[in-house]
Amino acid sequence: MPQKSHTHAQWSSRLAFLLAAVGSSVGLGNIWKFPYMTGESGGGAFVVVYLICIALVGLPILMSEWLLGRLGQKNPMSSMQKIAGRMKRSQSWGLVGLAGILGAYLILSFYSVIGGWALAYIKYAVTDTFSTLDGDSVGSLFGNLLGDPSTLLLWHSVFMIMTVGVVIGGVAGGLERAAKTLMPALVVLLVVMVGYAATTDGFAEGVRYLLLPDFSKLTAQTILAAMGHAFFTLSLGMGIMMAYGSYLSDDVNIGRTAVIVVFMDTIIALMAGMAIFPIVFSNGLDAGAGPGLIFQTLPLAFGHMSGGWLFGILFFVLLVFAAWTSSISLLEPVVEWLEEKTSMNRKGATIAAGLATWALGLATVLSFNVWSDIHPLGIFDKFSGMTIFDLLDYATSKVMLPLTGLATIIFVGWFMQRDELKSQLNVSSGAFSLWYVTSRFVAPIGVAVVFVFGLIN
């Protein structure tokens, strides 16, 4: 990466950085997970808490990860150790980086299975399966897919191969350049979907559901879920943004860039919600349907709207691309770590990491059918009824991401020098003070309180 020379290369690498960051953050989290979590948590109140978490926790931690990466110039674990060493702090800060690598592995194992669902839906769209669907059959289409482990396995394998292929070839740059046109295309298509939703008679109810908070629906669990999702959707807590930050040149304004990424990510999630909930209400579907929500709503819209065949194909293709640019960012830290800690070369490390992720993904594949009655932590009330997939999701989003995020922000807020932070962030004094107070007090206290209450309640 060229340093501080004002050439065209510098500009394009800055854009490349932005694309990589948006590519990582915008993914299944926005379009698949956000709407279904909103639906499971009762709507607007969840959204309000989520937006607060994005602003008060997500944004400052995103900035912290980038500045740590830029200062450390190494992989997340070594960056943390290097900066900690310079501050005469314990090397065990490196464990935060290590936890991130484990988390990325766990997340990718189920992320790939869901990416596989999206691939399967491209096939349904191409074969014009949606045009005949109604409220019942849209559910059975999805149910049949989940009930069929070999088909799920096939698509999960394809998605993993796509991810490994990009990471092996080191052509991530190419994919990210492709994202430059695909992300705007995704936004345009979401606008079309919201436009369609606006013509349905459930529109007002859907928008009200999404945006009007009913705070009586809030529980410690939904608040923890909203906070965990703020980490998930911004790709925080796994050191991924830290790794990206190590490629960041000194003249990039971290604060402004972070605001752009957060804004894009949030808008896309909200638009997905605006497209989906009206369809839920106008077809009498269940907003709390869970992980299948987008797969049981949007196909109805494609079946009914004019040009729906084409829009359906486009939508699921773009969804796969969004998932793909996120999944490469999840595999990368595992590969880097293997490369450094073993004698494997990049190719070997990528294949090994890919195979290990694929293998763990089998547990998620089976969670929806053969193992749907296996509840490993069923003896605890709180976890009764949770499948292996549910537990993987819980352990990562609700435990690991908040804890590593908390460690990161405490490190930055309390163990680093104010002057250094100020010169790194290079923003106005007012903005810096706001960031500093949030990073020292608001974010860590908020995360800790939500985390503890969520676990004990």
For residues 274 and 195, what is the distance between their CA atoms, to the nearest angstrom?
9
Which of 294, 290, 255 has its CA nearest to residue 429?
A: 255
For residue 99, state whether it binds ligand TRP (rule: CB under 6 A): no
Helix, strand or coil, per DSSP, at residue 266: helix
CB of 233 to ligand TRP, least distance (A): 4
Examine residue 357 and tell whether it contacts ligand TRP (CB under 6 A). no
Q: Any contact of residue 226 with ligand TRP (CB under 6 A)?
A: no
Contacting ligand TRP (CB under 6 A), which of 233, 282, 350, 367?
Answer: 233
In angstroms, the CA 345 to CA 328 distance is: 18
Quickly list H helices, 73-202. 76-86, 94-126, 137-146, 149-169, 172-199
- Choose one: 25-33, 78-86, 181-189, 367-375; the region binding ligand TRP (CB under 6 A): 25-33
Tell me how far, at minimum, the Cβ of 108 lies from ligand TRP, in Å: 8
Q: Which is nearer to ligand TRP, 141 or 162 (CB)?
A: 162
Closer residue to ligand TRP in complex, CB, 47/421:
47
Instruction: Decide: is 232 part of the binding site for ligand TRP (CB under 6 A).
Output: yes
Tokens representing residue 60 in the block: 């400052």
What's the min distance (Å) between Cβ of 27 and ligand TRP?
A: 3
Which pairs from 291-294 meet CB under 8 Å and 24+ separation?
291/32, 291/33, 291/36, 291/114, 292/36, 292/139, 292/142, 292/143, 292/146, 293/32, 293/35, 293/36, 293/39, 294/31, 294/32, 294/35, 294/36
Nearer to ligand TRP, 104 or 388 (CB): 104
Contacts of ligand TRP in 302-331 (CB under 6 A): 326, 329-330
CB 239 within 8 A of CB 78: no
Q: Is 24 in the site for ligand TRP (CB under 6 A)?
A: yes
Q: How far is the CB of 61 from ligand TRP (least distance, A)?
A: 11
Q: What angle do CA 389, 392, 395 make, to 5 degrees?
A: 145
User: Rounded CA gap, 111 and 393, in Å?
Assistant: 10
- For residue 43, the SS3 value is coil
Contact 333, 239 (CB under 8 A): yes
Please pick, from the candidates 235, 246, 266, 408, the single residue that binds ligand TRP as defined by CB under 6 A: 235
CB of 25 to ligand TRP, least distance (A): 5
Give the shortest CB-205-to-ligand TRP separation in angstroms.
Answer: 27
The binder of ligand TRP chosen from 13, 25, 296, 408 (CB under 6 A) = 25
Lay out the site mask for ligand TRP across 27-56 (x = CB under 6 A, - = otherwise): xxxx--------------------------
The residue nearest ligand TRP at its CB is: 29
Interface stretch with ligand TRP, choices 21-29, 87-95, 137-145, 197-205 (CB under 6 A): 21-29
| DSSP secondary structure code for residue 368 in this structure | T
Q: Does 407 engage in binding with ligand TRP (CB under 6 A)?
A: no
User: How many residues contact ligand TRP, by CB under 6 A?
Assistant: 16
Whether the CA torsion 274, 275, 277, 279 is positive or negative: it is positive
In the complex, the residues that contact ligand TRP under the rule CB under 6 A are 24-25, 27-30, 104, 107, 232-233, 235, 238, 240, 326, 329-330
